[in-house]
Chains A and B, each alone.
Chain A
Amino acid sequence: MRLKRGKLATDPVAFEAFYRRHIDAVTRFLSRRVDDPHTVADLAADVFLAVFDSAHTYRPGKGSEIAWLYGVARNTLSSERRRALRESQLTYRVSGRRPLDSDDVSRLEEQIDAEQPARAAFEAMAGLPDGERAVLELVVLEQLTPSEAAMALGIRPGTAMVRLHRARKALRDLPFVMEGNPR
């Protein structure tokens, strides 16, 4: 199914379909980065709120939905963006402490446990320059292709390839860095 530009923010049916396609991927994405179930749930809310704000940047047919969504999610995670969102009165219905019951908490905890190796990889990448780390993260941990990662980050595919190469060279002793989608 392809979405029309902008529809994500205005059409409840289109948005619901999009949400159901990707909510699991988003909570896994977040479980690779934070280790607290409540924070994962709060961030998931923030990511989909950011989808409303960024819906006009989605180009059907230009790169995959998930690459675009990971781009949105990465921006959402930047602390500055999160602070602005928190201060915005407009999102009070959704943002903030999401209510979780004990089933939710244990499901999310399982997911967070499962993503422990990925979080360890993040720590290993911490010393890389931001640009290189961003590409490596999306290719190795999120399994995007280098050109999808480029789209998510708003850079040229060639730039992504160069950064990926440099990052892998810098971390060549770690087992995870050669994983990921080779395309």
Chain B
Amino acid sequence: MRFEEQLLMDLKAEMTARNERSRRIGRRLLAGAAVAGLAAVAAVAVPLLSGPEPAYAVSKNPNGTLTVELKEFRDSDQLEQDLKNLGVTADVTYLKPYTKCQDGRGALVGGGYDTPEEWRESVHYKVARPANKAFVIDPRQVGKGQTVLLEFTENPDGPYKSQLKAEVIEGSVKPCVPEHDPTQVG
């Protein structure tokens, strides 16, 4: 066998070993992140299709909440406009796999959260909850002068295809600066 072929085989074996290792480390990081209060990332199943159909559908529920069914990660500006018309100021970001927006895009309402328990009690948890292939927004959690940040990360390797991070911000919102997110695992 030519040395190039042998080298390729060895490199692929090395890749497999490294991927195994990083999966183990990733799980540990995730466990740590949950304790550190980063559990605000919830899984929402969004099929990553492409086609001429609308990218999403928004519907009103009898209890005052809104259901947003995401079919594709596009037209975020239009989704923001539609939500605005329904009384919710939202900032929607669609992110590539293994990335997130840099923290600190604005002042968290209620000063943020430090534990998963605090998160579950907070407005950031209540404002947007995943529901099967959609998510439900509660407009009552977004007050005047506040904006809900909705950050979706594509994760084609994961079980849910995407993740949602929601936060309610008081006052001005900085634009998303995407950065590598080592805590995401396939």
Contact = CB atoms under 8 A, between A and B. Distances in A.
B7 A93 contact: no
Interface stretch (A44-52, A66-74, A76-84, A170-178): A44-52
Interface stretch (B8-16, B75-83, B86-94): B8-16
B98 interface: yes
B177 interface: no
A3 interface: no
Contacts of B8: 16, 19-20, 23
B12 A93 contact: no
A64 interface: no
A56 B180 CA distance: 8
A127 interface: no
A52 B14 contact: yes
Interface string A48-68: 110010001000000000000
B154 to A, nearest CB: 10
B11 A19 contact: yes
B17 interface: yes
A105 to B, nearest CB: 9
Interface residues of B, number: 21
A16 B6 CA distance: 12
Contacts of B7: 23, 41, 44-45, 48, 94, 98
A181 interface: no
A20 B98 CA distance: 26
Given A23-B8, A41-B7, A99-B3, 10 more contacts: A5-B96, A9-B15, A20-B8, A23-B4, A27-B4, A44-B7, A52-B18, A93-B13, A94-B14, A104-B3
